[in-house]
Amino acid sequence: MKKNYEFVIIGQGIAGTVLSWYLIEKNLNFLIINDPKKASSSSAALGVYNPITGKRFVETWKAKELINKTEKFYKKIENKLKTKILYKKNIYRPFHNNKNINDWQMKLESRTFKKYIKKLDIKSRYNLMNDDLGGIITKKSGYIDVTKFIKLSKKYLKSNNHYKEIKIHPNDIVIKKKFIEFDKIKTRNLIFCIGSDQNTNRFFSWLPFNLVKGETIDIEMKIRLKEIIQKSILIIPTNKNLYKIGSTYEWNDFENKNTIKGINELKNKISAILDSKYNIINKKFGIRPASKDRRAFVGFHPQYKNIGIINGLGSKGVSLAPYCAENLLENILKNKLIDNEINIKRYISLYS
Ligand SMILES: Cc1cc2nc3c(=O)[nH]c(=O)nc-3n(C[C@H](O)[C@H](O)[C@H](O)COP(=O)(O)OP(=O)(O)OC[C@H]3O[C@@H](n4cnc5c(N)ncnc54)[C@H](O)[C@@H]3O)c2cc1C
């Protein structure tokens, strides 16, 4: 006897977990399936959300809308889970050179950037930091404790009979006219949220992924930093003397572990900014499911209208997932159009 669902989500990383909370909110009948043996991208994520990104410090895509939605969404989940997962924190970016100071001084006058700038200082802010030229403090940023979010969400999903641990082989999926069936499960809608594994999955492997491996470390050090520090890496103060540090970007070597090269890169970048002793207490790695055009993948299979996808979240999973989940669900439930910039229809010419 098969169990019937309205929705089945495959993958409990950030994308699948966020979507499951939207389904809970709407009181829909669903199951989320996950293969726990894989090192997911979400398990390595630093969890930072930040309206100003990139080497040239540009306002990120739909920054205002996404940051508001992100904070509202994770606050709601904090209330549901009765625990803290969202930490609002400013970002301190020490200046590299005089041009960098000039650029930020100009940004101070710009309407776009003014709202994000808290303070520009041309003197050092911290002892033991290589910030002699001073730096800029920006606001409307923070981080999500992704590990806690995923772990406690899983516990909640399990206790409400929404969670099953298995690996789904796409070839076992049988598509009928109105239902999809596999492994004693029958569902009206199947949504793939399987991160970098989507690259080899028969339903959506035609989408142009641009996978990027990343490594992070957790360290313990005595120094006290108030803000997240960003200078070629992120240093995130989490708890007392604990910091998350990352990340590396590797496009060619996807070795399934942390590497000496990756860890050394992080160590070198820490010593370029901080003159402080520390102990590494944890190492992590993951493969970011990025897309060629740096936009998410949301939508439905060209042939099977009840097989959907949320993917391509790249290095912004925390802030993109609520927007993407809402887009997909509102399309299914209210027939609202999916944002063209994330709709996978933009790549229909690649499907054959
Ligand atoms: C080093 C690093 C640092 C990062 N830092 C940040 C950051 O600061 N801020 C930010 O917003 N983002 C960050 N990211 C990006 C973020 O991690 C990703 O955008 C996000 O985790 C993608 O989530 P996902 O759910 O799409 O994929 P994943 O997290 O990879 O989840 C996919 C899930 O699907 C499961 N799965 C796969 N195939 C199957 C199958 N056949 N059957 C069952 N289950 C299956 C996997 O086991 C996994 O649990 C970082 C990423 C890395 C690697």
- Domain assignment present for residue 104? The answer is no
**12 Cβ below 6 A of ligand 1:** yes
Distance 330 CA to ligand 1 centre (A): 23
Residues 217 and 277 in one domain: yes
Residue 204 phi, psi dihedral angles, 5° rounding = -130, 20
What letter would DSSP give residue 337?
P
Q: Evaluate: CB of 265 within 6 angstroms of ligand 1.
A: no
Shared-domain flag, residues 202 and 298? yes
Indicate whether residue 289 lines ligand 1 (CB < 6 A).
yes
- SS in 3 state form for 196-214? HHHHHCCCCCCCCECCEEE
CATH number assigned to the domain comprising residue 14:
3.50.50.60
The reply to whether 260 and 271 lie within a common domain is yes
Q: How far is the CA of 306 from the centre of ligand 1 (A)?
A: 23
Q: Per the domain annotation, does 142 fall within a domain?
A: no
In three-state secondary structure terms, 319 is: helix
| Residue located via tokens 């009928």 | 176
Whether residue 125 lies inside any domain: the answer is no
- Please state whether beta strands 180-182 and 185-192 pair in parallel, antiparallel, or not at all (unpaired): antiparallel
Q: What is the pLDDT of residues 43-58, one digit of tens each?
A: 999 999 999 998 788 9
Instruction: Compute the CA torsion angle 138, 141, 142, 146 (nearest 10 deg).
Output: -140
> Ligand 1 within 6 A of 131 CB?
no
List, in order, residues 6 or more apart from 208 with CB less than 8 Å away.
291, 292, 293, 347, 350
pTM exceeds 0.75 for this model: yes
If you write DSSP's letter for every residue of 152-208 in order, what string do you get? HHHHHHHHTT-EEE-PPPGGG-EE-SS-EEETTEEEEEEEE--GGGGGG-TTTTTS-
**168 and 222 share one domain:** no
- Longest Cα–Cα distance of the chain, Å, equals 70
Are 207 and 312 in contact by the 8 Å Cβ rule? The answer is yes
What separation in Å is there between the alpha carbon of 39 and the centre of ligand 1? 8
Query: What distance in Å separates the CA atoms of residue 106 and residue 108, rounded to the nearest whole number?
Result: 5
The verdict on the CB of residue 34 being under 6 Å from ligand 1 is yes
322 lines ligand 1 (CB under 6 A): no
**Number of domains the chain is built from:** 2
Pocket-testing residue among 8, 9, 10, 14, ligand 1, by greatest number of atoms within 8 A of Cβ:
14
Burial letters 190-204, b for 16+ CB under 10 A, else e: bbbbbbbbbbebebb
Note down the domain range covering 180. 3-44+147-209+292-350
Do 277 and 247 belong together in one domain? yes
Report the C-alpha gap between 32 and 197 in whole angstroms: 16
Alpha helices in the chain (DSSP H): 14-25, 63-81, 98-109, 111-114, 146-159, 260-273, 317-334
Q: Is 59 in the pocket of ligand 1 (CB under 6 A)?
A: no
Q: At 241, which CATH number?
A: 3.30.9.10
Residue 55: predicted pLDDT: 79
Pocket lining: 317 vs ligand 1, CB cutoff 6 Å: yes
Question: Are 283 and 224 contained in the same domain?
Answer: yes
Rounded CA gap, 284 and 181, in Å? 35
Which residues, given as ranges, of the chain have pLDDT below 70?
none
Take atom 33 of ligand 1 and give the residue whose Cα is closest.
11
Is residue 157 a part of any domain in this protein?
yes
Cα-atom radius of gyration of the chain, to the nearest Å? 21
DSSP state of 61: T
Take residue 11 and report the two structure tokens written for it: 């993958």
Give the per-residue pLDDT at 37: 79
